Amino acid sequence: MTSLNRSDLWSLEEYAERRAQFREQVMAHKKQRQVVIGNHARLLFEDELSIRYQVQEMLRIEKVFEAEGIQDELDAYNPLIPDGQNWKATLMLEYDDVDERRRRLATLRGIEDTVWLRIEDFDKVFPICNEDLERSNEEKTSSVHFLRFELTPAMVQAVKQGARLQAGIDHPGFDNEPVALSDAVTASLANDLDDISLN
């Protein structure tokens, strides 16, 4: 699995100096790695850069500089980096109004299991969800979920060769149409995958 090490990170002092420019770079990068589904769902596909930014931000906020604390953050976030055979994404359910959010999350239990990606000429791929902890209960779902989409070697090869991608959500309580991923997002996701020979 691709993973970050302490040597990949800046010290708190160096990060303070680099933060504004680095944040601008990461925000531009994230725009090429997100998909909006319907009016209220967003998939953000994580990678080494987005996770490195997240770790640096957590270390900054919590003022962590000791080796053990830094390693704890790395251990928490490294599993969110794709490993060449999958995509890992954060699903965010976005409702600005607090009351509406509460109502909708109560009706969208299990929505994370119904998110899908489809590679041209293949069946839908549904995710493995929330491996860190349970994010739904009997009353509601969470507004944030962590998804892992595992791909077969044939799917990986198809994406590397330029297959088109779609995304959608099959939950009966969530109104949406399948979304075609843009060329920029598709190219960025293809870069997450290893080159595979099926011979």
Render pLDDT for 91-109 as a digit per residue (tens, 0 to 9): 999 999 999 999 999 999 9
The pLDDT score that the predictor gives to residue 160 is 95
The radius of gyration computed from the CA coordinates of the chain, to the nearest angstrom, equals: 18
Strand blocks (E) in the chain: 34-37, 41-45, 86-93, 115-119, 124-125, 128-129, 144-150, 165-169, 179-180
Q: What are phi and psi of 73, to 5 degrees?
A: -65, -40
Least confident of 126-135, 138-147, 182-191: 126-135
**Domain boundaries, given as residue ranges, for the chain:** 1-31+48-81, 37-45+91-199
The residue behind tokens 């293949």 is: 122
Q: How many residues does the chain have?
A: 199
**pTM summary value:** 0.90
The pLDDT score that the predictor gives to residue 2 is 75
pLDDT tier at 132 (50, 70, 90 boundaries)? low
The residue behind tokens 């994404």 is: 89
3-state secondary structure (DSSP) of residue 141: strand
Nearest CA to 93 among 192, 173, 186, 33? 173
Average pLDDT, the chain: 93
Written as six digits, the tokens of 61 are 């906020």
29 has a pLDDT exceeding 60? yes
Q: Give the separation between CA 35 and CA 86, rounded to whole angstroms.
A: 17
Mean pLDDT of the 133-162 span = 87
Strand partners, 84: none
The pLDDT score that the predictor gives to residue 27 is 96
Mean pLDDT of the 41-69 span = 95
Please give the residue that has the higher pLDDT: either 137 or 62: 62
